[in-house]
Each structure stands twice: as C-alpha cells, then as structure tokens.
Structure 1
Amino acid sequence: MHTKETGTLPVRDQVSAAEWQVRVDLAAAYRLVALFGWDDLIFTHISARVPDAPGHFLINPYGQLFDEITASSLVKVDESGTPVMATDHPVNPAGFTIHSAIHEARPDVHCVLHTHTPSGVAVSAQQDGLRALSQQSIFPLSSLAYHDYEGVALREDEKPRLVRDLGNANHMILRNHGLLTCGRSVAEAFLAMYTLESACRIQILAQSGGVALIEIPYAMRADAAQQARQVTKGLGGALAWPGLLRRLDRLSPGYAL
C-alpha cells in the first residue's frame, strides 16, 4: 500500500502526545461498543480527528473486530481516505464516505460514531422514528436529525444530502440503516450514542407490550439540553468516561497498546 509516511518505529513514537491520547480514547470506544453489544462484526465505524494535524482522521482497520482494535492499529487517513502512515489494513469506503462528509462540514465535531444495532435499525424503520416515551429519549430528541436511505453509503453525491439533513444536530437516525452521533470528543460521542441507543431499545420494548403508550409532553422536555448539563455537572461525556475506561481495564485490557 502506498502511503504518505513510512516508519518502523512503534506508532506511539511516530505520533504526538495529543494524537496518541485520541488514539487511546478511540480504541477504547471501539472496545466499549463491542462490550455493550453494539458492534456488527466489522461493519460500522467510529472516527476521530487528529487534533494537531488538520485534515487527518483516525478510523478502524477494516477487517479487525472491534474488541481487537488497539491505539496502534487505528488507521490515520487524509480527507480522501488515503492512509498517511504505513498500515497493513484497508479502509472501508462506505464507512469513510459518511464520516468524511460530517468532519468536513462540521469543524465542531471531533468524533463520529455509527452503529447498526437491532434496536436502532428497528426504530429507524418506523414512520414516526424516535418517540418521547422515556426520560432517555428526551436528550437525543433535543438534537435529532433524520436521513433517508440511499443504499450502502458508497456514492460521493450522497454527502451533501447527508450534511444537509444533519445540520447542527448531534444525533441522527439513518432511515432503514442505523444510528449516528457526533461529539466534541470521543467521550461525548459515546455518551450521546449510549443515550440514543437506550432510548431506541426502550421504545421497542415498550411497543412490544401491545398497549397504548404515554408520550412525554413537549413542555416537559423543551429544556432537555439544559437538564443534560445539570445531570452531568457540565462535564458531558467526560463525567462517565473514566469509569468506562476502568471497566475496560478489567474486562478488555490492551486497547491502549
């Protein structure tokens, strides 16, 4: 594979301290997605900006299961999806189409997380999408967008429509496809996905009871963003992230290698 950089040193010795920290967090997110059962073999993606290298991003080595991914195995690519460090792994073109579009259009977004969970796909196939059926639902509903299905995301011409539909939202339901969240950090994108996935799972469970459902009135959820800041003491995903890393250290060590 032709790359823009080569080297035989360990990856940690080839990158800045800032990039290495993002690599560790991103590898942790992949492991956590597997731990929570949100993975779909090798077929979804989480990406993150390289903080001190504009136009460079980190994404999974296509072919590795999420519970195998390490900080060193992540692939660094440019805006066209071309690796910029030596790697033995390819990049999934469908995965990078979605992620590159969002990173290019949203400089505030440093991490994009995409899943194909059964609950997420089930809600994405419902005409009404996510409903205000749980406390968990009110947070993504305060910043939720939808994008209609256009087939496997391989075509460049889908990018502007994806960006248009996302707008300034940080949660997106990809119709008949799955879920997507954005964050200013890996931790923030992960917490957003945890909440959105929980809301979808609860919705499917509630609907399975076969009885009329009670929706939360809009007046009770209009200030959900402010409520979220209060609940997390203004720290957002950073509040739970250290505990999640401790869980990984116990159950899936090795992600930081």
Structure 2
Amino acid sequence: MSAFSDPRVRDQVSPEEWALRVDLAACYRLVALHGWSDLVFTHISARVPGPEHHFLINPYGLMFDEITASSLVKVDEHCTKVIDSPHPVNPAGFVIHSAVHAARPDVTCVLHTHTRAGVAVSAQRDGLLPISQQASLVVGSLAYHDYEGLAVRDDEKARLQADLGDRTNLILRNHGLLTVGASVPDAFLAMYLLEVSCQIQVMAMAGGTPLTMVDPAVIQGASAAAKVATRGQGSALVWPALRRRLDRELPGYAD
C-alpha cells in the first residue's frame, strides 16, 4: 500500500463514492502515464454522488502517479475539506473546476492540463484546425476562453462558464486544455482526443507544407460515426482496458 493511502477512508464513504475515487485515481495515473501532467500544477475533479456540492480533488504536492483513491481530498464548493485529510489542497487551482461544476450539473468530471502541444495550439490564432480524424471528433463541441492570467479570481468564473456553455472541450488561450464528462472515463477520452488532435496539429504544421482540412459535412456526422465505431459504448469500451494497463504498470491506485 502507498505511503499516501489511508485505509480508513473507504469506511467513511459510500460504495458509489469509493467507485468514483478509484476511477478518479486511475485517471490521475493515466494522465501521468501519458505524459500530460505538469509536475503538481493541474487538477482533475469529480463531483461526489448525492445532493451535497462535494468534490474530489488531488492532494496538492503529490505527483499524479502517486495518487490513490483514499488520498484524494473531499472538499465542498469553496474547496474546504469535508473529510479530514493530512494533505493540503490548492484553493486557487479549484477556481476553474468550481466554476464548471456550478454551471454544469450534467458534468461529473472536469479534467485540465498544461501539455506542451495543448498550450502550443492554445497560443495559435486559429486554434484547433480540423486536419485529422481526431480533430473532427472534437471541433463540433469545442469552445475557447481568453487568457486572464492565473485563474485565482472568482470574477473570471462567469466568463469561463459562458464560454464553455454546453460544450465538452475548452481551449484556454495561452494556458491549456479542459474537458468535461458525465463520468471520469468520458472526460478522459475527451481529453485523449483533444490532446492527440493538438499533437497532430503541431507536428503537421512543423512540416511546412499546406494542410488539408476535413470536409465540414464529415465533421457534422463525426459524433454519430463515433457511436457506431464504439458500438454505442463510448468511453466504456476503452476504460476497462486502461484500468488493466494501470494494474500492470502503475498498480496501487485503488488503495
């Protein structure tokens, strides 16, 4: 068991919350495994089932590959701890997440990254270009939010909420990427597609030759095609396989 795990936590939460904790800890580990973490400076949050506005977030200062289900910190909408934890939290880092959760009751998980490719595309005037199959699955539900400095001011929340609207993907200009989902697996798969789209764009633009755009008619039908490709399962098709990979390569996340 990890030095950061607390076996007492499982007895203090519902089975539904524990399952969410395991998925969220797995998501943190997968972000680390894919090289999307930025030391300890980004966050993934998840809304706890129930009428309370309670959320799970990372213990501030732990690397993402160290996070476990029991080490996740449970906070309210003000980022105040609900269950006692020896781990600190980063209230400033919760501004973006609390804004999204407040405006989107349909969202369980908010995933935010500062990857090199994501920040690079966020700095490009035209944003994400529809030049790949992956991008064709993203741009139909993509929004942008202008950079206002470090996200530490509550007054930015309303503008961020308005910019995201009902979309799944958000590019934070000069800052990074954000995805939301009705489940942790949904948010992760959305980020995978957004991140890969950005990586492909950076690589393609480095070639220095004109780029071919995907036909708008193809983009319009991309979501329906994706449902066919995943047999209607979406993220549920890949999530068990991702968990098995973690069990092999980064075990202990479910502690």
1:122-154 CA distance string (max 9 Å, x none):
000000000001000011101000000000000
Aligned residue for 1:156, secondary structure, equals: coil
Q: What pairs up with 1:218-229 in 2 under 5 angstroms?
A: 218-229=216-227
TM-score, normalization by structure 1: 0.95
Task: Give the conservation status (yes or no) of the 8 Å contact 1:111–1:182.
Answer: yes
Unaligned segments of structure 1, at least 5 residues: 1-7
Match of 2:186 in 1: 188
Q: What pairs up with 1:113-152 in 2 under 5 angstroms?
A: 113-152=111-150
Which among 24, 27, 43 is matched to residue 22 of structure 2?
24
- Distance in 2, Cα, partners of 1:149 & 1:102: 16
Match of 1:54 in 2: 52
2:101 is the counterpart of 1:103: yes
Quote the offset at 1:234 in angstroms: 1.4
Quote the offset at 1:53 in angstroms: 4.9
- CA 9–192 in structure 1, closer or farther in 2 if over 3 Å, else same: closer
- Distance in 2, Cα, partners of 1:238 & 1:167: 25
- CA 145–196 in structure 1, closer or farther in 2 if over 3 Å, else same: same
Could you tell me which amino acid in structure 2 is paired with residue 68 of structure 1?
Answer: E
Task: Give the conservation status (yes or no) of the 8 Å contact 2:144–2:171.
Answer: yes
Quote the offset at 1:169 in angstroms: 0.2
1:15-60 CA distance string (max 9 Å, x none):
0000000000000000000000000000000000111352000000
Across the aligned residues of Structure 1 and Structure 2, the Cα RMSD in angstroms comes to 1.0
Match of 2:169 in 1: 171
- Distance in 2, Cα, partners of 1:53 & 1:236: 27
Could you tell me which amino acid in structure 2 is paired with residue 234 of structure 1?
Answer: G
Quote the offset at 1:9 in angstroms: 6.9
Could you tell me which amino acid in structure 2 is paired with residue 28 of structure 1?
Answer: A
Identical amino acids, percent of aligned pairs = 64
Unaligned segments of structure 2, at least 5 residues: 1-5
TM-score, normalization by structure 2: 0.96
- Distance in 2, Cα, partners of 1:118 & 1:53: 38
1:195-222 CA distance string (max 9 Å, x none):
0000000000000001111111211211
Quote the offset at 1:118 in angstroms: 0.2
